[in-house]
A = this chain, B = another copy of it.
Amino acid sequence: MQIALLLFDRFTALDAVGPYEMLSRAPGAETVFVAERTGAVRNDSGSLCLVAERTLADVPAPDVVIVPGGPGQSAQMENESLLGWLRAADATSTWTTSVCTGSLLLAAAGLLTGRRATTHWLAHDVLRTYGAEPTEERVVLDGKYVTAAGVSAGIDMGLTLLGEIAGDEHARSVQLLTEYDPQPPYDCGSPAKAPAAMVEEWRSRSRFILS
8 A Cβ contacts from A21-61 to B: 21, 24-25, 30-33, 40, 45, 47-51, 53
16 contacts between A and B (CB under 8 A): A14-B155, A24-B47, A31-B48, A33-B49, A40-B40, A48-B50, A120-B179, A138-B179, A138-B183, A150-B177, A150-B179, A151-B178, A175-B188, A176-B190, A176-B202, A181-B193
Contact B186 A202 (CB under 8 A): no
Across the interface, A184 reaches (CB within 8 A) one of B20, B24, B31, B156, namely: B156
Give the size category of A's interface with B.
35 or more
Contact B163 A150 (CB under 8 A): no
Contact B13 A21 (CB under 8 A): yes
Contact A182 B156 (CB under 8 A): yes
Contact B185 A163 (CB under 8 A): yes
- Known pairs A138-B179, A152-B179, A178-B189 / 5 extra A-B pairs, C-beta < 8 Å: A24-B47, A25-B45, A49-B50, A152-B180, A172-B198
Across the interface, A49 reaches (CB within 8 A) one of B53, B177, B181, namely: B53
A168 within 8 A of B: yes
Q: Considering the complex, give the chain B residue whose CB is closest to the CB of A21.
A: B14
A12 within 8 A of B: yes
The docked-state distance in angstroms from the alpha carbon of A177 to that of B202 is 8
Q: Considering the complex, give the chain B residue whose CB is closest to the CB of A191.
A: B176
Contact B24 A18 (CB under 8 A): no
User: A179-B121, A184-B156 are known contacts. Are A45 and B31 too (CB-CB below 8 A)?
Assistant: yes
The 6 closest A-B pairs by CB, nearest first: A181-B189, A150-B179, A182-B182, A49-B51, A172-B188, A14-B21
A160 within 8 A of B: yes
Q: Considering the complex, give the chain B residue whose CB is closest to the CB of A49.
A: B51
